[in-house]
Amino acid sequence: MNRHVYWHTHKGHDTDAQFTAHSIAQLVNHLRRELPELNLTASVLPTNVADQIDWQLDCGFLQGAISVIEKQSNADLRAGLTIYCPDSKSTAVTTARQRLPHAFWGINFRGVLSLSYARNNPYALWHESLHLLGAQDHYSSQNFQSTCAMPCCIMQFAPDERTVGSESFLCRATMQILRKNCT
């Protein structure tokens, strides 16, 4: 199946939008290098759709934002949206944290919408974005310890440069899921 990841920066400045675009480009380039067979595209969210999403997020209507992005999919293409929220006190982030208190840096909803709110942390943005492609968390929800044999796995709890910081951060299990869902 063809997969498309839209990206958007909610309530940020130009430098935040540049961070989002650069981070997603890095992720897509890494995936194309590691898994060239993937049918994956990515682009900035169109302005008219972004306005609808922003309104939903400003009101704390995460389900409404999910409904908006689901309308971007069709029989040949499954779309997901990754949103960088640099303002950790925004209504969107507050609502997400109420739904899942241990989601310190980001959260994914139904594999359709991912919010990342770890300021200037591309690893957290990549982790949440990979959920849009079917990747699963590789940590225990009881104690947040990694369940992956690969120490630098991107799908560990609260990934950052210190814990991931590797050119090769996709473990075999994640690569297998991405191949299944994106080819």
| Residues of the domain holding 131 | 2-136
In a domain, 25, yes or no: yes
Q: In the structure, what pLDDT confidence band is assigned to residue 54 with cuts at 50, 70 and 90?
A: very high
Sign of CA dihedral 26, 115, 146, 158: positive
- Cβ count within 10 A of residue 143: 7
Average pLDDT over residues 3-24: 97
Residue 80 lies in a domain: yes
Average pLDDT over residues 127-156: 96
Residue 107 to residue 88: CA distance in whole angstroms: 13
Query: Residue 79's beta-bridge partner residues?
Result: 4
pTM, two decimals, is 0.96
d(CA 57, CA 163): 30
Residue 28 lies in a domain: yes
Report the DSSP pairing between strands 77-84 and 40-44.
unpaired
Provide the number of structural domains found in the chain.
1
Q: Which of 126, 143, 122, 144 is nearest to 135 (CA)?
A: 126
pLDDT band at 103 (very low <50, low <70, confident <90, very high): confident
Q: Mind listing the pLDDT tens digit for each residue in 161-180?
A: 999 987 789 999 999 999 99
Tokens encoding 53: 């999403």
In a domain, 145, yes or no: no
Examine residue 162 and state whether it is found in any structural domain, yes or no: no
Residue 112 lies in a domain: yes
pLDDT recorded at residue 7:
98
In-domain check, residue 84: yes
**Residue 152 resides in a domain:** no
